[in-house]
Amino acid sequence: MSTESPCIDICKFDNKTGLCIGCLRTRDECKSWKKMKDKHRRKIIEDRARREHKLSK
């Protein structure tokens, strides 16, 4: 089963962290999402709390 994209159609990137303020992925992660293996996708999603904390600083 394929891991769904966490995209919520905001697509604005924080200049300091490089993370999307909507889905908390980097530009490169967003661009390569469809080509990624599910294991890598799940790692990105599981890392959401840390990324959110980094964005809020």
* Euclidean distance between CA atoms 26 and 34, whole angstroms: 14
pTM score: 0.89
pLDDT at 2: 85
Separation of alpha carbons 54 and 34, rounded Å: 25
Q: Looking at this protein, which amino acid is placed at residue 9? A: D
pLDDT digits (tens, 9 = 90+) for 6-40: 999 999 999 999 999 999 999 999 999 999 999 99
The number of residues in the chain equals 57
pLDDT at 57: 76
- Other CB atoms within 10 A of residue 24 CB: 21
Contact 22, 12 (CB under 8 A): yes
Residue that is written with structure tokens 């999402």 in the block = 33
1 pLDDT band, cuts 50/70/90, is: low
